[in-house]
Amino acid sequence: MCSPPVGGLSLDGVDVNKESVIQGTVTRDGQPVASAYVRLLDASDEFTAEVVTSATGHFRFFARPGQWTLRALSSQGGGEARVVAQQGQAVDVEVTIPA
């Protein structure tokens, strides 16, 4: 609870067991990419949400269980990753931007 918020908002006061958290980092050449825009797209590729990565390249979403796509956009290029979210268990994913 004392760690700095990543991917936007703090988890203080959030019952993580009720949430289906998708979180992770955006990287390029193994380095975190700050201020990248990360989109969460549902199974039919519909836009669901977007956050900006933190100084350490982190992002976080509160989704629902199921298949999702993450799409990152930055001034250094873009990348994509697929992920399956589960309730009560945060899933970590790295979105890589080709160097």
Partner 1 sequence: MSRADVLVDASWAESHLDDPKVVFVEVDEDVSAYDKNHIPGAVRLDWKTELQDAVKRDFVDQDQFATLLGGKGISNDATVVLYGGNNNWFAAYAYWYFKLYGHSDVKLLDGGRKKWELDSRNLTDEVPSREATTYTAQPARTDIRAFRDEVIAAIGAQNLVDVRSPDEFSGKLLAPAHLPQEQSQRGGHIPTAVNVPWSKAANDDGTFKSDDELTKLYGDAGLDDSKDTIAYCRIGERSAHTWFVLHEILGHQNVKNYDGSWTEYGSLVGVPIEVGA
- Rounded Cα distance between 9 and 25, Å, is 15
Beta sheet of 66-74, edge-to-edge order: 47-52, 37-41, 66-74, 77-85
Q: Please, which residues bridge with residue 40 across strands? A: 49, 70
Query: Does 48 sit near partner 1 (CB under 8 A)?
Result: yes
Query: Does 81 sit near partner 1 (CB under 8 A)?
Result: no
Query: Does 61 sit near partner 1 (CB under 8 A)?
Result: yes
Among 1, 2, 44, 98, binds partner 1 (CB under 8 A): 44
Query: Does 42 sit near partner 1 (CB under 8 A)?
Result: yes
- Rounded Cα distance between 56 and 98, Å, is 18
Among 6, 27, 57, 62, binds partner 1 (CB under 8 A): 62
Helix (H, G, I), strand (E, B) or coil at 21: strand
What is the nearest approach in angstroms of partner 1 to the Cβ of residue 37? 6
Look up tokens 């004392």; give the residue.
2
Residues in contact with partner 1 by CB under 8 A are 7-9, 14-15, 18-19, 35, 37, 39-40, 42, 44, 46-52, 60-64, 73-75
